[in-house]
Amino acid sequence: MTTLKTKQAIPAEGHLATTPASEARARHTPLVPSAGARRVWLTLLGWGIALLIFFPILWMVLTGFKSEAEAIADPSLIFTPTLESYVAVQARADYFKFALNSVVVAFGSTLLALAIAIPSAYAMAFLPTRRTKGTLLWMLSTKMLPPVGVLVPIYLIFRDFGLLDTRTGLIIVYTLMNLPIVVWMLYTFFKDLPRDILEAGRMDGASTFQEVVYLLLPLTLPGIASTGLLSVILSWNEAFWSLNLTSSNAAPLTAYIASFSSPEGLFWAKLSAASTMAIAPILVFGWLTQKQMVRGLTFGAVK
């Protein structure tokens, strides 16, 4: 643009000499508005697509604030918001039972997985042996086992050990299901910690325990937290095992929501209210940890 301006200033130069000044300006000026227009289009397109993708969630949230009659009426953004569906869902005591199951199972399995994975990831990151890489890859490969492939034996084992429809059973399954991802993520977070810092700690006289408590844990806390959140999200949303291994006592929200699929459960506003409550916390967790999630979900292959 600078060159264009100079050329305008010296109309005698080059081919511009034959071009009327007005035409030169006409060729120059559109550059600025077109950049602005591009921005407007980009904004419209970006927001348009984002809202389109988000629309089903938005619609669900809105429907949760409608009455049942409005919910199945012609779609409309104008309605009198009401909390009656939320009240109705809360009034059904069993909603809390399912929500509590979800909380207990998701957080229980996450804590258990962290407790098992932290020593393992510590050893892999700071006391690596020749087998460490192989172990990591093997752990990753256990995650590739399709759950449906082992449905039958797990079902039978659970039946024989009285674990069917128990929270303990689900916690066990989710812990093992998420363990490879948790180990893997912690390993990459630990690995990112400069070795020098732990060595400086050792030079300063820290024992292994002090090294972990004073240096490793505080420095990798954000990583541990996002690993934990990912594990919570995955457990919370898991629907294969929860549908197949629980029926009423230990069923988490995924199974509870599924019960709305029967034709007699055609209460859209209540379904929406219950669903909104079921996904809201996880949605927030997901938004908070998107960056770190990529690391965990792709096993560090995409950074």
Distance (Å, rounded) from C-alpha 182 to C-alpha 124? 13
Q: Is 19 in the site for another protein (CB under 8 A)?
A: no
Q: Is 264 in the site for another protein (CB under 8 A)?
A: no
Distance (Å, rounded) from C-alpha 224 to C-alpha 218? 10
> For residues 270 and 86, is the Cβ–Cβ distance under 8 A?
no
> For residues 187 and 136, is the Cβ–Cβ distance under 8 A?
yes
Q: How far apart are the first and last CA of the chain?
A: 37
Nearest approach, Cβ of residue 299 and another protein (Å): 5
Q: Is 133 in the site for another protein (CB under 8 A)?
A: yes
Distances (CA, A) of 145 to 73, 112, 176: 44, 21, 12
55: CB partners within 8 A, 6+ apart:
none
Distances (CA, A) of 127 to 130, 132, 225, 299: 10, 9, 23, 20
x/- track of binding to another protein for residues 73-102 (CB under 8 A): xxx---------------------------
Q: Is 160 in the site for another protein (CB under 8 A)?
A: no
Q: Is 51 in the site for another protein (CB under 8 A)?
A: yes
What is the gyration radius of the CA atoms in the chain, in angstroms? 28
Q: Which range binds another protein by CB under 8 A, 79-87, 92-100, 160-168, 267-275?
A: 267-275
Question: Considering only residues 107-126, where is the footprint of another protein by CB under 8 A?
Answer: 116-117, 119-120, 122-124
Q: Is 69 in the site for another protein (CB under 8 A)?
A: no
CB of 166 or CB of 237, closer to another protein: 237
CB of 21 or CB of 294, closer to another protein: 294
Question: Considering only residues 206-245, where is the footprint of another protein by CB under 8 A?
Answer: 206, 210, 214-215, 218-219, 233, 236-237, 239-240, 243-244
Nearest approach, Cβ of residue 86 and another protein (Å): 16
Could you write out the DSSP letters of every residue in 57-124?
HHHHHHHHTS-HHHHHSS--S------HHHHHHHHSHHHHHHHHHHHHHHHHHHHHHHHHHHHHHHHH
Q: Is 147 in the site for another protein (CB under 8 A)?
A: yes
CB of 139 or CB of 250, closer to another protein: 139
Nearest approach, Cβ of residue 60 and another protein (Å): 5
> For residues 257 and 274, is the Cβ–Cβ distance under 8 A?
yes
Q: Is 140 in the site for another protein (CB under 8 A)?
A: yes
- Binds another protein by CB under 8 A, chosen from 4, 16, 60, 88: 60
Nearest approach, Cβ of residue 73 and another protein (Å): 8
Distance (Å, rounded) from C-alpha 250 to C-alpha 235? 14
Distance (Å, rounded) from C-alpha 105 to C-alpha 188? 26
- Binds another protein by CB under 8 A, chosen from 157, 162, 248, 249: 157
CB of 11 or CB of 107, closer to another protein: 107
Q: Is 152 in the site for another protein (CB under 8 A)?
A: yes
